[in-house]
Structure 1
């Protein structure tokens, strides 16, 4: 149970704290010729940035060769009788052997729903071009090929 003395002490502490905070960081007001007090505005909060930070996606990341998609050439990514197959080539234009993973994704162009992702692991000697094939990697007779987009990506497993 609180006593009147406890309430009085709490009220005194709250008033002292409020007065202390109210005077923090503000300059002493000085009267003007008209007798009014003018206090310069003191910013206490840094404005938030509302524009998004831009990130360049055209260059390789700081980790080195991460996305090697430009080395992959797609010949076909087609459906026949509800079965999807992929063909292409991967050219290793570097001076070292590449150990890569190739991802082949089928995405609905209507609502960006991912239908499947098929991954292939390849080792490509320096300066050589190898075939990339994924026969019958997805099957669904109910999918309209006109509403599907085939996307690929290549990553270096050593990075």
Structure 2
């Protein structure tokens, strides 16, 4: 017959044996001089690409964004501090185009954007439409010689 003391002794022996076996299962790696452990690179990892992907920035029908060659600027000037724009859009494609024309005034001294005016236009296939933005910006203190008028055209369907 076993006594409670023999049960406790057997349990202690079993626990010690388990701890000893568990400690032997995986040998610990010794750290290097810098305190780090050297681990082999996993073959499933791929390096991060740092070079930028190439994208087309060519303007033109079917180009990425800008359809600026369809726009002809007639005038972008100011009278008495009030700026107006006039031009034409030519659609030489076989499809109707829904376009946005952006007219920007930028200071040539510090490249500060003074204003942006956007016009949404539908240009039927094979037709030319006027682009007009009368009085789109007003500032009598702006010298026309220090301002550049920039335009851009984007296809709203893309």
Say whether 1:18 aligns with 2:32.
yes
- 1:118-137 to 2 correspondence within 5 Å? 118-137=117-136
Structure 1: give runs of 5+ residues left out of the alignment: 1-13, 26-45
- 1:61-140 to 2 correspondence within 5 Å? 66-140=65-139
Structure 2: give runs of 5+ residues left out of the alignment: 1-27, 41-46
Aligned length: 124
Q: Which runs of 4+ in 1 moved over 2 A?
A: 19-22, 51-61, 63-66
Check conservation: 1:65, 1:156, Cα contact below 8 A.
no
Q: Normalising by the residue count of structure 1, what TM-score does the alignment of the two structures yield?
A: 0.66
CA 1:124–1:60 in 2, change beyond 3 Å: closer, same or farther? closer
CA 1:143–1:67 in 2, change beyond 3 Å: closer, same or farther? same
Residue 57 of structure 1: aligned partner: 57
For 2:75 and 2:150, the matched residues in 1 are separated by: 11
Query: What do the CA deviations read for 1:109-146 (whole angstroms, capped 9, x no partner)?
Result: 11100000001010000010001000000000000000
TM-fit CA distance, 1:56:
4.7
Question: Aligned Cα RMSD in Å?
Answer: 3.2
Secondary structure of the residue aligned to 1:131 is strand
Secondary structure of the residue aligned to 1:70 is helix
For 1:15 and 1:96, the matched residues in 2 are separated by: 70
Q: Give 1 or 2 for the bigger CA radius of gyration.
A: 2
For 1:134 and 1:80, the matched residues in 2 are separated by: 14
For 1:78 and 1:147, the matched residues in 2 are separated by: 12
TM-fit CA distance, 1:57:
2.3
Q: Normalising by the residue count of structure 2, what TM-score does the alignment of the two structures yield?
A: 0.67
Check conservation: 2:98, 2:121, Cα contact below 8 A.
yes
